[in-house]
């Protein structure tokens, strides 16, 4: 029994992990490119591939074909971009919470933040009778306020992951009851409108949605990357991390704020699309099989799930445009179940 550390073997393991990370990223990016190309190509109005390419580059080349440009640049491109951005945002919100709270079930759509956005939006739709942008503002405010309430209620000489999770599910139950109550007291057509929003959809997406969400991500992603450095120490446990000089509370609060930002902006843009935040982290980590934390991979998975789900939602039934939220659950779940079954061979899920 020697305690000599075999440097060569550690290097080999590290190398293998790095290779695996790169392969996963490359595979996901490739899949995303294919899905994006399909999103440009598929649709009721047939556009040939050269037409699409010409249209996409028309701002640079100056070659204009009004009909095709409208379909490609005004309809399909904004929708696909919004799907990618919102999918990645949901995924990052999910994986941050799952990592911080050390529970694969602790995504924002389970610990109450999505419920906050939903309850506020349903209130705006049913009680105030507003629609459109007001609903988005309501959802954003609802998500942020709920997260703030959870954090403040969980604060007692610092927060612990377990307390945040339990208080989150308490808040979730209460907010779900608010929604149920409003549903039983409203007229059926109002319930239908609220229900459509709750499922989440890209059908009514405005070009401005992508700009707002993209701008928010430009701020949030660098913040997240900076804060993630403090997370390595925190994984050793709060006390060890503190003795190593890590600012545990600062890092945790910062990351939670960033995660809430991702969730709130994405929800305001497309509604509380279910399951993307929940599933992306576990999917990315199963793909990585222990070779890293998988934030980048989770964002790619989220974007992919959202984009593919929207393609299925648009084209599955010939006459009906389903909202994307109807499909993300099924699509993400099939992916997750397949991985759960496959993971028997590699023997690791987390």
Partner 1 sequence: MAEAQSHHRQKAARLIAGLLMLGAALLAIAMLSLATGARAIPLETVWAALTAYDPNSTEHRIIWDLRLPRTIVGLLVGAALGLSGAVLQGATRNPLADPSILGINAGAALAVVLGVAVLGMTQLSLYVWLAFIGSGVTMLVVYSVASLGREGATPVKLALAGAAITAVLQSIINGILLTSPRTLDEVRFWQVGSLSGRDIDIVLQVAPFLAIGMVLALGSARMLDGLSMGDDVARALGQRIGLSRGLAGLAAVILAGGATAAAGPIAFVGLTVPHVARAITGPGYRWILPYSMLMAPILLLGADVIGRVIAPPGEVQVGIVTAFIGAPFFIALVRRRKLAAL
Asked if residue 163 binds partner 1 (CB under 8 A), the reply is yes
Nearer to partner 1, 10 or 173 (CB): 173
- For partner 1, the binding residue among 17, 73, 141, 169 (CB under 8 A) is 169
Closest approach, Cβ 264 to partner 1, in A, equals 21
Distances from the Cα of 278 to the Cα of 13, 18, 41, 178, 274, angstroms:
29, 25, 29, 23, 8
- For partner 1, the binding residue among 174, 223, 228, 253 (CB under 8 A) is 174
Lookup: tokens for 230: 């403090």
Lookup: tokens for 135: 């609903």
Nearer to partner 1, 41 or 183 (CB): 183
Closest approach, Cβ 332 to partner 1, in A, equals 6
Asked if residue 37 binds partner 1 (CB under 8 A), the reply is no
Closest approach, Cβ 102 to partner 1, in A, equals 10
Q: Which range, of 140-148, 154-162, 230-238, 260-268, touches partner 1 by CB under 8 A?
A: 154-162
Asked if residue 128 binds partner 1 (CB under 8 A), the reply is no
Closest approach, Cβ 170 to partner 1, in A, equals 4
Site for partner 1 in 264-303 (CB under 8 A): 274-275, 278-279, 282
Asked if residue 336 binds partner 1 (CB under 8 A), the reply is yes
What is the 3-state secondary structure of 280-309? HHHHHHHHHCCCCCCHHHHHHHHHHHHHHH
DSSP 59-116: HHH----HHHHIIIIIIIHHHHHHHHHHHHHHHHHHHHHHHHTT-TT--TTTTTHHHH
Q: Determine how many CB atoms are found less than 10 A away from the CB of residue 169.
A: 17
Asked if residue 66 binds partner 1 (CB under 8 A), the reply is no
Cα–Cα dist 31/284, whole Å: 14
Distances from the Cα of 274 to the Cα of 111, 263, 318, 331, angstroms:
13, 11, 24, 11
Cα–Cα dist 248/229, whole Å: 11
* Torsion from C-alpha of 157, 160, 165, 166, nearest 10 degrees: -60
Asked if residue 204 binds partner 1 (CB under 8 A), the reply is no
Q: Which range, of 46-54, 135-143, 189-197, 297-305, touches partner 1 by CB under 8 A?
A: 189-197
Cα–Cα dist 28/22, whole Å: 10
Site for partner 1 in 68-127 (CB under 8 A): 103-106, 110
Asked if residue 181 binds partner 1 (CB under 8 A), the reply is yes
Number of H helices, E strands in the chain: 15, 0
Closest approach, Cβ 15 to partner 1, in A, equals 26
Task: Residue 203: name the closest of 327, 67, 65 by CA.
Answer: 327
- For partner 1, the binding residue among 33, 42, 48, 195 (CB under 8 A) is 195
Cα–Cα dist 92/79, whole Å: 20
- For partner 1, the binding residue among 82, 93, 165, 234 (CB under 8 A) is 165
Residues that bind partner 1 (CB under 8 A): 103-106, 110, 153-154, 156, 162-163, 165-167, 169-171, 173-174, 176-177, 180-181, 183-184, 188, 191-192, 195-196, 199, 274-275, 278-279, 282, 320, 322-323, 325-330, 332-334, 336-337, 340-345, 347, 349-350
């Amino acid at each position: 029994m020697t305690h000599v550390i075999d440097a060569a073997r550690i290097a080999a393991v590290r190398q293998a992990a790095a290779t695996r990370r790169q392969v996963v990223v490359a595979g996901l990016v490739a899949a995303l490119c294919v899905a994006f190309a399909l999103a440009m190509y598929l649709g009721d109005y047939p556009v040939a591939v050269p037409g699409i390419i010409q249209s996409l580059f028309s701002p640079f080349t100056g070659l204009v074909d009004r009909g095709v440009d409208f379909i490609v640049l005004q309809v399909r491109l904004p929708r696909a971009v919004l799907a990618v951005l919102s999918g990645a945002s949901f995924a990052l919100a999910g994986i941050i919470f799952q990592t911080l709270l050390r529970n694969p079930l602790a995504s924002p759509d389970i610990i109450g933040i999505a419920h906050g956005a939903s309850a506020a939006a349903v209130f705006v739709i049913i009680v105030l009778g507003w629609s459109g942008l007001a609903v988005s503002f309501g959802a954003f405010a609802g998500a942020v306020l709920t997260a703030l309430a959870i954090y403040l209620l969980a604060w007692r000489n610092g927060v612990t992951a377990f307390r945040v999770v339990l208080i989150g599910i308490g808040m979730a139950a209460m907010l779900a009851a608010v929604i149920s109550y409003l549903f039983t007291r409203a007229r059926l057509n109002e319930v239908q409108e609220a229900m459509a929003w709750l499922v989440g959809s890209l059908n009514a997406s405005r070009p401005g949605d992508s700009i707002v969400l993209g701008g928010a991500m430009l701020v949030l992603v660098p913040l997240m990357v900076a804060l993630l450095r403090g997370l390595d120490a925190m994984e050793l446990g709060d006390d060890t991390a503190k003795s190593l000089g890590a600012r545990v509370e600062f890092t945790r609060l910062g990351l939670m704020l960033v995660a809430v930002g991702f969730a709130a902006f994405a929800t305001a843009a497309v509604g509380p699309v279910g399951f993307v935040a929940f599933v992306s982290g576990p999917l990315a980590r199963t793909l990585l099989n222990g070779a890293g934390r998988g934030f980048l991979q989770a964002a790619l998975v989220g974007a992919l799930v959202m984009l593919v789900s929207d393609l299925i939602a648009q084209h599955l039934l010939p006459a009906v445009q389903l909202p994307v939220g109807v499909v993300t659950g099924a699509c993400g779940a099939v992916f997750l179940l397949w991985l759960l079954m496959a993971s028997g061979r590699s023997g690791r899920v987390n």
